[in-house]
Amino acid sequence: MSDTHASPPGDDAGEVVRYEELGPIARITLNRPRARNAIDAAVSAGLEAAIDRLDASDGVWAAVLAAAPTPDRPVFCAGADLKAIDAGEARGIHTKKGGFAGFVFRERVKPIVACVDGLATAGGCEIVLACDVVVASTRSAFGMAEVKRNLVANAGGLFRLPRAVGPSVAMEMALTGEPLPARRAYELGLVSRLVEPHEAMATALSIARTIAGNGPLSVQATRRIVAAAFSEDDETLTRRGYDASRLMFSTEDTVEGVRAFIEKRAPRWQGR
């Protein structure tokens, strides 16, 4: 099933963000290929709604965020739709709940794997940096191109990028606006898996399914601690780890996980 958001005139017909549930995982797709999957108000509303649905869906434990194939060169997302902004339609590209694209500063629960097959630039790169795991094809690239239009990146890229690739490379990317090839991004740690273009979606879905096969409450607690690794001190992180571990022992899923191990069967997670 999917949520539908009407496209403004000139956009691709149909849904601008597609949401599908595939068993224990969801696939969310940016769907404005003729606009290079650029973000306008409708996409921001659609992506925010998709994350709302993901976090509210019982039995869905992880997601893949992808983009529709573009007609010319491969582009995951070209960032903010500058044509819409120039036409005075900037309102709504940033939402109260999620910031840019309704996503980059969103408080969310379930892990998201980015599936990148093409250029992710400006806000498109910032969307990728807000995900938890990144799968990229060999023809992908990542850029912070705002300076080329006398703009400043304000969707988290200027502080998340140095954490992902190191301060020197991030500074070069941010000041030159030139993209970083996927292979180099993989070597530096921004990309978790580097694959051929025809393998990107299958790999991202496989990772999401592996995540969804683990205890969901444990996954969610673990994700929160890893995500805080660069923003909190070791003492705080240690305390959070102990607190989360103690909490797990009081859950039904931990009882189920132990029983499943003893009985040599797959666990049946309930998220409680």
Higher pLDDT among residues 105 and 269, named by residue:
105
Q: What is the pLDDT of residues 141-190, one digit of tens each?
A: 999 999 999 999 999 999 999 999 999 999 999 999 999 999 999 999 99
Residue scoring higher pLDDT (218 or 86): 218
Q: What percent of the chain has pLDDT over 70?
A: 95
Distance of alpha carbon 126 from alpha carbon 169, whole angstroms = 16
Strands (E), 39-192: 62-67, 75-77, 94-95, 99-100, 112-116, 119-121, 133-137, 141-143, 180-181
Residue tagged active-site, from 15, 21, 107, 146 = 146
pLDDT of residue 212 exceeding 60: yes
CATH code at 17-212: 3.90.226.10
Asked if residue 3 has pLDDT above 80, the reply is: no
Whether the per-residue pLDDT at 242 is higher than 80: the answer is: yes
**Per-residue pLDDT at 14:** 66
pTM of the predicted model as reported, rounded to 2 decimal places: 0.90
Report CA torsion sign: 180, 186, 75, 96: negative
Q: What is the mean pLDDT of residues 107-130?
A: 97
Return the domain boundaries, the chain: 17-212, 216-262
Fold for domain 216-262? Lyase 2-enoyl-coa Hydratase; Chain  A, domain 2 (1.10.12)
Indicate the DSSP class of residue 39. B
Catalytic residue among 48, 107, 126, 187: 126
| 126 given a catalytic annotation | yes
Active site residue 256: no
Taking the C-alpha atoms of 94, 64, 111 and 37 in order, what is their torsion angle to the nearest 10 degrees? Answer: -10
d(CA 138, CA 196): 6
Domains 17-212 and 216-262 share a fold: no
Decide: helix, strand or coil at residue 227.
Answer: helix
